[in-house]
Amino acid sequence: MNSIPFHEEAIPGRHMITYRIRDSHRKFPVRDVEVLATPQEIEQFTRDGYLVRERLLPMEQVERLRAALDEVMTDDGHIERGGGKAFGGIFLRHLMDKHPAFLDFLRFPPTLSIARALFGPSVQMRGFTARICFPDDPHQETEWHFHQRLIPDPLPPLLTRPLTMDVLLYLDDTNELNGPLCVVPGSHNWIEEDLEKDDFSDKPGQVVLPLPAGSCVLAHGSLWHRALPTRPGGTLRRLLLFGYGPAWNKQAIYGVKPPDGLTTRLLQNPDVDEETRELLGVAGYM
């Protein structure tokens, strides 16, 4: 299995974490993680709820992913449409099961290593989706939302927050015409504040993130964010979305997984290693 090449110069620094797992049955295994981020960036993510990697992928890889997305869209029988004003365009789910170009992200160091720095060594991937927004379609923005809407009121004394990290990888430029991402730094910690449906208003402290193709945003699953509307002259906007959480989290509920997809076949291989099983959600939590 390959991993997607990336621009080293998009990574400002690295550091090492050595985890020792308190599991005597496996003789207290040790895992060394080279984190493709500085310790200060991990602190920044914890504080602000997001991190930007501009021009992370070379354009030849962006073109490869665009072509793979075209192939999947041609053959996929479960394309989701009709998200209304809040979530227009089309959605393609379970891409790692549908094309090897997306399966190559299974061990993508620039995102996987940061997930392990945030959540510990045992993480799994959570879904792999594409959203495609077309020019001149009036419903290309999204409402303010976050992805982990599971916090009860009142807060139980032993509540375990659903901590996840999402990756938004842009295959096209996003600018003022093309609906860039907008986030509210620190909002991932607002667990006692409601966010209403159909809210498209500006927020105090919001940050707009226009980005070139090949860039990605790593975001906490509870970060308030939205896509701004496309304007006249905007172009096609293709976005890949995948994420990570602790290995014991449940997988995403959306879409129809192919019964004989690429990840299923990979897990059926008798030589598959424990890390692959962990990343695909069938190990690392017992």
Please determine, looking at this structure, whether the domain spanning 8-151+160-279 carries the CATH number 2.60.120.10.
no
- Give the max Cα distance, the chain: 62
- Average pLDDT score over residue span 97-106: 97
What six digits make up the tokens of 144? 């303010």
Per-domain boundaries in the chain? 8-151+160-279
- Average pLDDT score over residue span 123-144: 87
Alpha-carbon span 222 to 241, nearest angstrom:
15
Per-residue pLDDT band for 161 (boundaries 50, 70, 90) equals: confident
Interval 21-67: pLDDT, tens:
999 999 999 999 999 999 999 999 999 999 999 999 999 999 999 99
Where are the alpha helices (H) located in 127-228, listed in sequence order? none
Beta strands per DSSP E along 152-273: 165-170, 181-183, 207-209, 216-220, 225-227, 237-246
Alpha-carbon span 153 to 106, nearest angstrom:
36
Contact assessment for residue 104 and residue 4, using Cβ atoms and an 8 Å cutoff:
yes
| Residue 88 scores a pLDDT above 80 | no
DSSP element (H, E) containing 50: strand 50-53
Per-residue pLDDT band for 230 (boundaries 50, 70, 90) equals: confident
pTM for this model (two decimals):
0.94
| Residue 86 scores a pLDDT above 90 | no
DSSP 3-state of 123: strand
Where are the alpha helices (H) located in the chain, listed in sequence order? 39-48, 59-75, 100-103, 109-119, 262-268, 274-279
